[in-house]
Amino acid sequence: MRVAFLGTPEAAVVTLDALLDHGHDVALVVTGPDRRRGRGGKTSPSAVKRRATQRAVPVAHDVAAVREVDVERAVVVAFGALIPASLLATTPMLNVHFSLLPRWRGAAPVHHAVLAGDSVTGVSIMTLEPTLDTGPIHLVRTVEVGEKTVDDLTRELAVVGASALLEVLDTPTLLGNSTPQVGPVTYASKITSLDRRLSPRLDVTTFVRTVRLGGAHLFAGPTRLIVHRACPSDAPVPEGRFHLIGHDLVVGLRDGSVVLLEVQPGGSTVVSGRQWWFTGRASKEETTWS
């Protein structure tokens, strides 16, 4: 099938590769503009643009470019912007959405599935409508959440989603038939730095889930400490305090305590909590956190 592809991050690359490897004719890739990524003033392309360039697929940054190519439909994966209704009226689009719609419509469905403690999430292949993630569903595939991080879960969903999309494209009964979304609607707003802020006022469950988002952080005095891995502890540590218990660096919360397994002070490397305690603290007298 001759298609256009709209996507931006690494998770979307899996579907782009699957389309090309499966013999579909990707006439155009539309992706986010080059941006400053990391330190320094240089801009760099999105992950999808890099892969499209490697595979000699034309790239555009404006969705209006889809009007200029002759395609049967478009495929959208984590594009990061709403598609104009006028374009949807002329070019049917399939969306690979990383949730079991209508649960977690919106920008950050994987993050919210983890934060909410969902036991199961999945992928919905839907036809796009002008309204946010409301389109009818062609195929659903489920994935266990378990204790996976957002990054690990996203990588798994990307593979499952690519496979599900190919199944829809290759199966006329799936492609030609869809069903309305049924069930309670929830929305997954964009995750901010504030959502990743760890506090002694959190309960243990929320603390650990927040760490699984990636980029979760707390402050030890003036030091911003990113927490990469953590797990619940039985140690009786007062709220807002650090205690070193055996080989474990433990922090106290309002309803219990948590072991900081891997941490990263700002501008430094990832180390164990114990190693940071002995070698990385700016103030050896500091035993509180916020």
What stretches of the chain adopt beta strand conformation (E)?
2-7, 25-30, 35-36, 43-44, 59-60, 73-77, 93-97, 105-106, 120-127, 137-144, 187-188, 217-220, 223-233, 242-245, 248-253, 256-265, 271-272
- Mean pLDDT throughout 46-65? 97
Based on the fold, state whether residues 129 and 213 are members of the same structural domain: no
Mean pLDDT of the chain: 95
CATH code of 174's domain: 3.40.50.170
Q: Which residue has the higher pLDDT, 81 or 157?
A: 157
Over 70: is that where the pLDDT of 39 sits?
A: no
Q: Which residue has the higher pLDDT, 81 or 159?
A: 159
What per-residue confidence (pLDDT) applies to 279? 85
- Write down which residue in 188, 203, 230 finishes a domain: 188
- Mean pLDDT throughout 200-206? 97
Based on the fold, state whether residues 79 and 177 are members of the same structural domain: yes
- Write down which residue in 156, 173, 188 finishes a domain: 188
**C-alpha span between 199 and 62 (Å, rounded):** 41
What per-residue confidence (pLDDT) applies to 287? 86
Distances (CA, A) of 268 to 4, 205, 223, 224: 42, 27, 11, 11
Number of domains in the chain: 2
In a domain, 286, yes or no: no
- Write down which residue in 142, 170, 188 finishes a domain: 188
**C-alpha span between 153 and 149 (Å, rounded):** 6
In a domain, 287, yes or no: no
Handedness of CA 24, 31, 212, 112 (dihedral sign): negative
Q: Whole-model pTM?
A: 0.94
Q: pLDDT tens digit string along 102-143?
A: 999 999 999 999 999 999 999 999 999 999 999 999 999 999
Domain encompassing residue 244: 194-280
| % of the chain beyond a pLDDT of 70 | 97
Among 35, 93, 92, 33, which residue's Cα sits nearest to residue 60?
33
Over 70: is that where the pLDDT of 38 sits?
A: no
Based on the fold, state whether residues 153 and 182 are members of the same structural domain: yes
259 phi, psi to nearest 5 deg: -85, 130
In a domain, 289, yes or no: no
Based on the fold, state whether residues 183 and 206 are members of the same structural domain: no
Based on the fold, state whether residues 155 and 224 are members of the same structural domain: no
- Mean pLDDT throughout 3-24? 98
Based on the fold, state whether residues 40 and 177 are members of the same structural domain: yes
Based on the fold, state whether residues 71 and 204 are members of the same structural domain: no
In a domain, 40, yes or no: yes
Q: pLDDT-based confidence at 157, cuts 50/70/90?
A: very high
What per-residue confidence (pLDDT) applies to 150? 98
Q: pLDDT-based confidence at 286, cuts 50/70/90?
A: low
